[in-house]
Amino acid sequence: MSILVKNLTKIYGEQKAIDSISFEVKKGEIVGFLGPNGAGKSTTMKILTCYLPQTEGLANVCDFDTRTQEQEVKKRIGYLPESNPLYKEMYVKEYLHYVAKVYQLANPLQRVADMIGITGLTQEQNKKIHQLSKGYKQRVGIAQSIIHNPDVLILDEPTSGLDPNQLVEIRKLIKDIGNEKTVLLSTHIMQEVEAMCERVIIINKGSIVADDKTSQLKSNVSNQTIICIEFAEKIQIEDLKSVKGVKKVEKEGNEFKVYSQDKTTDIRQELFNKAVSSQWTIVSMKQETRDLEAVFKELTQKTK
């Protein structure tokens, strides 16, 4: 198991930043670690990378304990924190050589050249880091996090500040890394999670509220289906509320959103029958596809 977290707790004074959370991440998985601000994401990542000790519980990386085997963990982990701390007065190539020496790599010149090529820094390698755009600074951060060929990569907001073209390139890089390594990444960009992660862990108020495959999470979390329907005639909301199996109706422009009482009830046939009996003309009818952002909002806006 690349990452094992069991009953992990972190307390600051009287506040529990994380409250007895448990999860596992296997080799080759790219897992999205999501949550609103203050949910406990960064705290968990800092514990896994040995930047912060836990109050209680277990955190293992590649079978090494983060509390008692810190140096072994650091050898096997690559970390890009949200703040992306860099030595901004150093040149890009110079900085990566420095990082390579810290890790005592056998062939630092070749490894630095490889990282510059992989992360698309060829044209920027002779610039000072403070001269770079935010997107290129982020690339330098990713380069330093993988230069020592770690088994586990932990990325906190890795695509922050990247333009659309850079997003595609970095997304491909992360997916390629995930073919051989374990990647745990946090981001607020839900499209990136859906594009890169087969599995999602959602944390809210220090507790894990979901841990499932991305596709399964979107279909399982809601307790109702939503049908979007439009009629040629002017229909009142009250006319649709009376349909069997309907819980709620909302109007958006010319379209109605009709919510079922539960997710096992298919109200499309009932809506069609109502339209026929009332001599209404259905212009369009479709079931709304829930995206990850909608699921995230539903799970993190619930009171604990």
User: Domain holding 272: CATH number?
Assistant: 3.30.70
Q: For residue 298, is it within any domain?
A: no
CATH of the domain at 37: 3.40.50.300
Q: For residue 300, is it within any domain?
A: no
Q: Kindly report the CA angle at 143 between 202 and 169, in degrees rounded to 5? A: 70
**Tokens at 128, concatenated:** 């000072």
pLDDT (0 to 100) of residue 30: 94
230 and 258 housed in the same domain? yes
131 and 48 housed in the same domain? yes
Distance from C-alpha of 202 to C-alpha of 173, rounded to nearest angstrom: 24
96 and 204 housed in the same domain? yes
> Does the pLDDT value for residue 303 go beyond 60?
no
Find out whether 136 and 148 touch, Cβ atoms under 8 Å: no
Structural domain range at position 169: 3-214
Q: Where is pLDDT greater, at 233 or 223?
A: 233
Residues constituting the chain: 304
Q: For residue 235, is it within any domain?
A: yes
> How many domains in the chain?
2
pLDDT (0 to 100) of residue 222: 59
198 and 252 housed in the same domain? no
Q: pLDDT tens digits, residue range 152-172?
A: 999 998 887 778 887 888 888
Question: Could you give the 3-state DSSP secondary structure of residue 304?
Answer: coil
Q: For residue 303, is it within any domain?
A: no
24 and 132 housed in the same domain? yes
* Confidence (pTM): 0.79
Packing angle between helix 92-102 and helix 134-146, nearest 10 degrees?
20
Percentage with pLDDT > 70 across the chain: 97
Q: pLDDT tens digits, residue range 179-188?
A: 888 999 998 8
By mean pLDDT, which of 128-137, 162-171, 275-284 is the weakest?
Answer: 162-171
Q: pLDDT tens digits, residue range 34-72?
A: 999 889 999 999 999 999 999 999 999 999 999 999 999
pLDDT (0 to 100) of residue 304: 47
One-letter amino acid of 91: Y
| CA-based R_g, the chain, Å | 24
Instruction: Tell me the residue ranges of DSSP E strands in 66-206.
Output: 77-80, 152-156, 182-186, 199-204
150 and 46 housed in the same domain? yes
